[in-house]
Amino acid sequence: MSYVQALTCKECGKEYPIEPRTVCDVDFGPVEVTYDYQKMKGKVTRASIEAGPRSLWRYKDLLPIEGEPKAGLHSGWTPLRRADRLAAELGVKELYLKDDSANYPTFSYKDRVVSVAMTKAIEFGFDTVGCASTGNLAHAVAAHSAAAGIRAFVVVPDNLEGGKMVGMTVFGPRVVRIKGNYDDVNRLCSQIADKYNWAIVNVNLRPFYTEGAKTHGHEIAEQMGWKLPQHTVVPVAGGTILPKVYKGYKEFIQLGLVDDNNPVIHAAQAAGCNPVVTAIREGRDLFHPQKPDTIAKSIAIGNPADGYYVIKDVTSSGGSGESASDPQIIDAIKLLARTEGIFTEPAGGTTLACAIKLIQSGKIPSNESACVCITGNGLKTVEVMDGQFAAAPSIGAKIGEFDELIQQLEEQRTTNSNSKTTASGV
Amino acid sequence: MPNVTQKVWLTFEGGRQNEPCLWKMTQAFPKVQFDIRQASVQADIGIMAVLFTGEEVDVERSLALLKKLGVKVDPVVGGDLIVG
């Protein structure tokens, strides 16, 4: 049974039937899936959700599909980790990490949104799906379409480095290189969707695709024991995930599945591409588009489609915007790996670096609970860590040389420990 | 020639929000209709959703003129520019 009501314009409220559509005909505002929450009451319960599969599809009643899921059957339900070692370093009491770097099958939160978009594409009867992307989205579209047996097109600019192609081409999509920049590629995708009647997941299926991001928030709430963190720090790229995590929280509150603790949502962006954070700080509703210049490529969107709604949600929740420089992002990646054993991509490093700054500034008080959203895996972007670590010692295959090395390392450790004690004045 | 329609977002920044850019466009291309569907204009930035209708060549030229006047013109595609 589906509880979906309509596609509703976020600006004027005009309703449309459930169909492939991106914007409202009247004011070009984005359309969003709306549900009959009254009808869900008493039917969508903690027990009904807990009885569902260990995947994002346990929240099927809150997703815009009609029948059974047809893609991403093992996506979602990623670990929510209580990060005590990291919390101790940062001086906070209760810190959680929602770890989509472990998402299946392509190790980013995009597996959630593409699972829903792909299912919807099959329901609508599309025989071809596509996207314009060079990273996590392309990987997810290529992998999920391979598993579903649907033809996929990934459109990229023709100057793309060869290395980036492997992660998508291995799944067998048709990759098309376009002579032009990303603006040109994106525009062409929109025309392709219209002319060829293909499902471009983040264009004509965008209202359905974005709903998949809610499950990141649903899982945080359920995995915390049916309660919400007081603070949630979410990265902002196009602005898909932050409003949807918040929508997920609000849905659970409305259905009485969690208590309303007035959850605060904070936005994280790289300093080299922070149009939304800048607008929040300056108290503006609108952001100035920017030309990205950061190592955090997966969140480097200078003109985010849903940036306006991010500003609205962050502000209305009482949250803040924070941004981090590239060196701060690298330091945060290292800190997360060293303390919690999670290797995240620069987007995750950005989110943690911003969370640290929010803690240091008191915007996340040390005695309140906080969750940091880790949205992708560092093994996909190892190049950003080049030159970050000293070369490992190389020795002969003799136990004597190994003994000597251990002695040197012990001496170094003692020296470092003594200098730290002296520096702290203890 | 048949009429075409184009949905665009116009962004006015850097002082353009205080200039009559659309008026200048209509002086140059009086046959191009513009229909403002949504607008938000603040002190330092203005954004409008506009539907342009007219002969294809005129619509293209009118948008080119707006760009020349410093107005940012983005087609309404509804998606993101995914770089990474």
% of chain A exceeding 70 in pLDDT: 96
DSSP A132-150: E-SSHHHHHHHHHHHHHT-
Pairing of strands A174-178, A94-99: unpaired
Considering its fold, how many domains does chain B have in total? 1
Chain B residues lying within 8 Å of A273, measured CB to CB: none
- Å from B37 to nearest chain A CA? 5
Residue A254 pLDDT = 97
Please give the structure tokens belonging to residue B37.
């569907």
Indicate if the pLDDT at residue A291 is higher than 90.
Answer: no
- Nearest by CB to residue B81, choosing from A135, A186, A284, is A186
Indicate if the pLDDT at residue A182 is higher than 80.
Answer: no
Residues 361-420 of A with CB under 8 A from B: none
CATH of the domain at B46: 3.30.70.260
- Å from A352 to nearest chain B CA? 19
Contact A134 B82 (CB under 8 A): yes
Q: Which domain holds residue B47?
A: 3-75
- What integer is the mean pLDDT of A213-234? 98
Indicate if the pLDDT at residue B79 is higher than 70.
Answer: no
A102 closest CA partner among A385, A354, A340: A340
- Establish, for the pair of chains A and B, how many residue pairs have beta carbons separated by less than 8 Å: 103
- Å from B9 to nearest chain A CA? 9
Residue B84 pLDDT = 41
- Nearest by CB to residue A286, choosing from B40, B76, B81, is B40
Average pLDDT of chain A?
93
Q: CB of A288 within 8 Å of any CB in chain B?
A: yes
Residue A191, CB-side half-sphere exposure with 13 Å CA sphere: 9
Question: Does residue B84 fall inside a structural domain?
Answer: no
Residue B45 pLDDT = 87
- Residue of chain B minimizing CA distance to A156: B83
Cβ proximity of A256 and A41 under 8 Å: yes
Residue A158 pLDDT = 77
Residues in chain A: 426
User: What separation in angstroms does the CA of B68 have from each of A57, B10, B21, B75?
Assistant: 50, 13, 10, 16
pLDDT digits (tens, 9 = 90+) for A377-391: 999 889 999 999 999
The domains located in chain A, with CATH, are 80-107+213-385 (3.40.50.1100), 110-208 (3.40.50.1100)
Cβ proximity of A111 and A145 under 8 Å: no
Question: Does residue B33 fall inside a structural domain?
Answer: yes
**What's the per-residue H, E or C state across B1-37?**
CCEEEEEEEEEEECCHHHCCHHHHHHHHCCCCEEEEE
Indicate if the pLDDT at residue A166 is higher than 60.
Answer: yes
Strand partners, A162: none
- Residue of chain B minimizing CA distance to A194: B77
